[in-house]
Amino acid sequence: MKLIVAIVHSEDAGVLVDTLLEGEHRATRLQSSGGFLKQSNATVIVGAADDQVDAVIEIVRANCTSRTQVVNPMPPIMEPGEFFMPYPLEVEVGGATIFVLPVERFEQL
**Domain-embedded: residue 107:** no
**pLDDT for 10:** 87
Domain count, the chain: 1
**Domain-embedded: residue 42:** yes
Q: Kindly report, residue by residue over 8-57, the tens digit of the pLDDT.
A: 988 899 999 999 999 999 999 999 887 665 677 899 999 999 999 999 99
Question: Residue 74 — very low, low, confident or very high, per pLDDT cuts 50/70/90?
Answer: low
**Domain-embedded: residue 109:** no
**pLDDT for 13:** 93
What CATH number does the domain containing 14 carry? 3.30.70.120
**Domain-embedded: residue 25:** yes
Cα separation, 103 vs 70, in Å, equals: 40
Residue 43 is part of which domain span? 2-102
Encode 55-83: b = buried (16+ Cβ within 10 Å), e = exposed.
ebbebbeebbeeeeeeeeeeeeeeeeeee
pTM reported for the whole predicted model: 0.76
**Domain-embedded: residue 77:** yes
